[in-house]
């Protein structure tokens, strides 16, 4: 159960629209199914009343949408941001990707989002409705009239299980109060992969990445992937629409992308959330974050606007490459 209700959020958003502070709201819109929530720009109270949702399936991070949305008009847009979204928000500001003056950031408290794939594993695919019932979810299926009762904590998405912060890194106002930066265990999974032998690790990633269908959803959703012209879409790059020369080349897409966002990735986990093939892409990014922390000291992208990522900053105390090898194991 989320701390703040849909009702309270809508009331506040209606006020914002009525005051004329903002003329539109970036929020979650209901889809065909309960779990099928879509980002949407709401422009009226009626629209909000009809279609706005807030619940355990509002995972989408709207930060990246602000690049295009703020360019459309001189009026302010209100945006709803969960704590993890605010890091992406700040990182984009650091990179001068949108005008902060044109945004009214509403921070919403988040209790973690559910993973529909985990639910479907329990109930099967035929879900007709999901109702929040305290700490439980009542999942109605086409197989039975009675709902399947599922503890929300059992179906929390991976990124929420190792949530790094319940504290908003940026906001104009908060709904549902603020939390703390958490002592998360998010590098445990990375450590497990590090502990594998080279062959095991290769086999692990081979298994995961070979499922990739190159739908580009991870890239399209990634708030760090905001190039004007992506190298994979650029005919001059020599890589656009290139057919893979061997079975390894497909994997390079993800490795190149992880390098590309290294130091800028806030670990928001959107890449893994949207992957239709359930590839744990966030682990590649997390490995970079873990190494950067080990080599250069703790750095959280998007924690502070204007911070210099260690990879594009120079310090005389920077670790020498010869000393870096092996340091990541500690």
Would you tell me which residues interact with other proteins (CB under 8 A)? 71, 94-97, 226-229, 231, 234, 237, 260-261, 264, 308, 312-314, 316
Tokens of 268: 């928001």
Q: Which is nearer to other proteins, 129 or 313 (CB)?
A: 313
At its nearest, how many Å lie between other proteins and the CB of residue 317? Answer: 12
Residue 260 burial (10 A CB sphere; 0-12, 13-18, 19+): middle
H or E stretch covering 38: strand 38-42
Tokens of 23: 């003329």
At its nearest, how many Å lie between other proteins and the CB of residue 73? Answer: 13
Q: Which is nearer to other proteins, 173 or 220 (CB)?
A: 220
Q: Which is nearer to other proteins, 94 or 293 (CB)?
A: 94
Q: Which is nearer to other proteins, 97 or 118 (CB)?
A: 97
The DSSP output letter for 322 is: H
Q: Which is nearer to other proteins, 101 or 329 (CB)?
A: 101
At its nearest, how many Å lie between other proteins and the CB of residue 234? Answer: 8
CA distances from 294 to 117, 162, 330 (A): 33, 19, 8
At its nearest, how many Å lie between other proteins and the CB of residue 95? Answer: 4
At its nearest, how many Å lie between other proteins and the CB of residue 229? Answer: 5
Least Cα distance to 168 among 73, 90, 279 occurs for 90
DSSP 154-209: GSB-HHHHT--BSS-SS-SEEES----B----TTHHHHHHHTS-HHHHHHHHHHHH
């Amino acid at each position: 159960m989320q701390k703040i209700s849909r009702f309270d959020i809508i009331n506040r958003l209606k006020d914002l629209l009525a005051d004329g502070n903002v003329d539109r709201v970036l929020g979650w819109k209901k889809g065909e199914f309960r779990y099928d929530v879509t980002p949407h720009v709401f422009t009226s109270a009626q629209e909000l009343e009809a279609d706005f949702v807030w619940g355990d399936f509002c995972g989408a991070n709207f930060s990246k949408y602000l690049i295009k949305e703020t360019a459309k008009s001189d009026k302010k847009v209100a945006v709803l941001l969960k704590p993890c979204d605010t890091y992406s928000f700040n990182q984009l500001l650091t990179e001068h990707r949108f005008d902060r003056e044109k945004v009214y950031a509403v921070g919403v408290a988040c209790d973690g989002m559910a993973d529909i794939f985990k639910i479907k594993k329990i109930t099967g695919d035929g879900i007709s409705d999901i109702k929040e019932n305290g700490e439980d979810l009542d999942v109605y299926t086409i197989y039975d009239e009675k709902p399947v009762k599922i503890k929300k904590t059992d179906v929390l998405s991976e990124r929420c299980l190792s949530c790094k912060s319940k504290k908003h890194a940026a906001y104009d106002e908060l709904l549902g109060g603020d939390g703390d930066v958490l002592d998360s265990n998010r590098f445990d999974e990375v450590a497990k992969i590090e502990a594998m032998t080279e062959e095991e690790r290769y086999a692990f990633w081979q298994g995961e990445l070979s499922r990739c269908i190159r739908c580009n959803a991870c890239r399209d959703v990634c708030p760090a992937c905001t190039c004007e012209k992506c190298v994979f879409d650029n005919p001059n790059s020599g890589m656009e629409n290139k057919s893979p020369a061997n079975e390894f080349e497909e994997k390079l897409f993800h490795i190149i992308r992880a390098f590309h966002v290294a130091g800028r990735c806030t670990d928001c986990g959107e890449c893994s959330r949207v992957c239709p093939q359930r590839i744990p892409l966030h682990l590649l990014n997390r490995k970079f974050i873990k190494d950067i922390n080990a080599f250069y000291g703790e750095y959280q992208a998007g924690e502070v606007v204007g911070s210099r990522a260690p990879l594009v900053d120079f310090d005389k105390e920077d670790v020498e490459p010869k000393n870096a090898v092996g340091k990541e194991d500690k």
